[in-house]
Amino acid sequence: MNEFDLIREYFNWPSTDSNIVVGVGDDAAVVNVATSQQLVTSTDTLIEGVHFSSQVGPRDIAHKALAVNLSDIAAMGGRAKYFTLALSLPKIDEHWLGEFSSSMKQLAERFKISLVGGDTTKGPLSITINVIGTLEIGSALQRSGASPGDGVYVSNTIGSAAYAWWQLNNNQKPSKGNLEKLNRPIPRLELGRALNGIASACIDVSDGLEQDLGHILDCSNVGAIIELADLPLDEELSDYVKRTSDYSIALCGGDDYELCFSVPKRQREWLLKRLQEIDIRITQIGEITKSLGLEIKGYSNNSSSYQHFR
Amino acid sequence: MNEFDLIREYFNWPSTDSNIVVGVGDDAAVVNVATSQQLVTSTDTLIEGVHFSSQVGPRDIAHKALAVNLSDIAAMGGRAKYFTLALSLPKIDEHWLGEFSSSMKQLAERFKISLVGGDTTKGPLSITINVIGTLEIGSALQRSGASPGDGVYVSNTIGSAAYAWWQLNNNQKPSKGNLEKLNRPIPRLELGRALNGIASACIDVSDGLEQDLGHILDCSNVGAIIELADLPLDEELSDYVKRTSDYSIALCGGDDYELCFSVPKRQREWLLKRLQEIDIRITQIGEITKSLGLEIKGYSNNSSSYQHFR
């Protein structure tokens, strides 16, 4: 099977998006963009041995590779529209490719996003995806808009993915739900859209709450106080914290892909109203402050967030 | 040095493009798109050991990684505008990164294209770039528009990069010019723009003339006759062919990143006029035919074009 057959067989999905003028199979893809829209674009790479182990199956890898990119668009409050896929494979394994392709297609269809191009090459297993989305002009949720007094929120639970990962590495069995959060995170695109025009700053929790909230604080030139007791933890991680008093997984564990965002007080009611339409829990965990730095009430552990080049 | 310092130090280039609303450093980049424009987007990966050897230096790697992506936009007749960079590095080598960054910046400035985002991660050396460009609505140069009677053209010379590569692998010393063509190809963006509204089909010669012209023929449902004697070869490759009668490098050697395109006869004068404004040689090498297949006058070698998964 050569490169062209591979693309035709596994990645030439039919699309119903009439704005795709040229899709997979030419030098580049061509798409229409509506007036009054801005483009939002983001790239993320997953590499075997760095972002996932050789034990992880093709369905999980494909899902996560696309999900983490969609999560970046969600954190900007954008609509994901198109993506390109650069896939490096050590060998052609048709069963693996079939599973990979079908899982990625499933997620793409769920969020109505079209694969428009890419590159396949022989090499160590690695997946780089670029997502292109659209935004109403001037509506991007940046990291730099938080103001003193704004509430600090996170979606769903935090630390669940990191706790599953920690359990896998410590001969414990993660719950099915947490393993799912680690391997098949759900990009919070509906929430990102709902926050558009409401949140003052937003980021996705991919590197751990402490570090990612820290980016909002740095970019906004503000600080924050958060309460350990208010962190939304799932049942398993909650039990672990009760047993050990160790909050490092909750605060510094990455890979959750939940949204962390700040909302001015005057927008709070409006936010709760909008959230009635989508099925997602949000929790206020603290408040933005004028004095710089992140104050965590009840925390004294020195554990750090995940960084690639330690 | 952590991931954030690395991006700040090497990849947070100042940009003068006022259409960049959010650049490097947020979850995603946000850019304005003019009305009456379509988006054109393309992705290519270079991996050490597959696309370049460990002997190749950071300046060449950076140049080529960006150039091959710009070449895809050129082949569509587009204007390159923005790119994202996904960089996987086995270790942090500040000298290497400084050279890599400076060379990529140089090429980006030459073609007025802005780096708007990306991802850095620890792993085998690999570079994936996604370029976003713009096109006037309906003006994309696709592979599917060639008609019988159209002339078949290529820019500059073909086989030069492949001949340099062949020499390197056969203990011969390539000329400085050909080594440059292999390591620092020039994307034919001005030519692509000039062909806009004139060429009926276009592709970049990345996998070898025979294979890439074959894509135009397949997509356009036509054939072509080309003349070996008309192929524009540089002096070194020309000497080699005279000595050996071996045209396989000229016909099947990849990595040239010249454009191969078809032009209706009635557009020929107009094309020559436009080309007076840009410094590039083009050569007619044959003609599109109604009967399918590629007829190469004077060729009988069975050598095949480069494909990744052979």
**Cβ contacts of A124 on chain B, cutoff 8 Å:** 47, 123-124, 126
Q: Is the interface score ipTM higher than 0.90? A: no
Q: What is the pLDDT of residue B45?
A: 95
pLDDT, one tens digit per residue, over B256-268 is 999 999 999 999 9
Domain positions in chain B: 3-136, 151-297
A40: closest CA among B166, B117, B176? B117
Strand order of the β-sheet with A293-297 is: A201-204, A259-263, A151-155, A282-289, A223-227, A293-297
Inter-chain CB proximity A31 and B38 less than 8 Å = yes
pLDDT digits (tens, 9 = 90+) for B183-236: 999 999 999 999 999 999 999 999 999 999 999 999 999 999 999 999 999 999
Could you tell me which CATH class the domain B3-136 is placed in?
alpha beta
Give the count of beta carbons closer than 10 Å to the beta carbon of residue A232.
Answer: 21
Query: What's the pLDDT at B113?
Result: 93
Residues 6+ apart with CB under 8 A from A259: A74, A75, A154, A155, A188, A191, A192, A195, A202, A203, A204, A205
Contact A50 B126 (CB under 8 A): no
Residue ranges, chain A, pLDDT below 50: 301-310
pLDDT tens-digit series, residues A65-77: 999 999 999 999 9
Please tell me the distance from the alpha carbon of residue A271 to that of residue B70, in angstroms, as a whole number.
43
Rounded to whole angstroms, the Cα distance separating A81 from A108 reads 9
Give residue B309's pLDDT band: very low, low, confident or very high (50, 70, 90).
very low
Establish whether domains B3-136 and B151-297 are of one fold. Answer: no
pLDDT band, very low/low/confident/very high, at B74 (cuts 50, 70, 90): very high
Cα of B88 to nearest chain A Cα, Å:
8
pLDDT for the residue numbered A145 = 94
Measured CA to CA, the distance from residue A261 to residue A257 in angstroms comes to 12
Asked whether B158 and B232 are in contact (CB, 8 A), the reply is yes
Does any CB of chain A come closer than 8 Å to the CB of residue B142?
yes
Q: Is A43 on the interface with B (CB under 8 A)?
A: yes
> What does the pLDDT look like over B20-55, one tens digit per residue?
888 888 888 888 888 888 999 999 999 999 899 898
B86 touching chain A per CB within 8 A: yes
> Which of A130, A142, A196, A210 should one mutate to test binding to chain B, selecting the residue with the greatest count of B CBs within 10 A?
A130
In the chain, the amino acid numbered A44 is D
Q: Please compute the mean of the pLDDT values over residues B81-93 and round it to a whole number.
A: 93
What is the pTM assigned to this prediction?
0.90
Provide the CATH number for the domain formed by A151-297 in this structure: 3.90.650.10
Which pLDDT score, from 0 to 100, does residue B295 have? 93
> What's the pLDDT tens digit per position in A252-291?
999 999 999 999 999 999 999 999 989 899 999 999 999 9
- Report the DSSP beta bridge partners of residue B119: B86
What phi and psi values does residue B72 have, to the nearest 5 degrees?
-65, -35
User: Residue B119: closest CA among chain A residues belongs to which residue?
Assistant: A44
Structure tokens that stand for B96 in this block: 């290497």
**Could you tell me what percent of chain B has a pLDDT over 70?**
96
CA-to-CA distance for B284 and A111, rounded, in angstroms? 47
DSSP B71-83: HHHHHTTPEEEEE
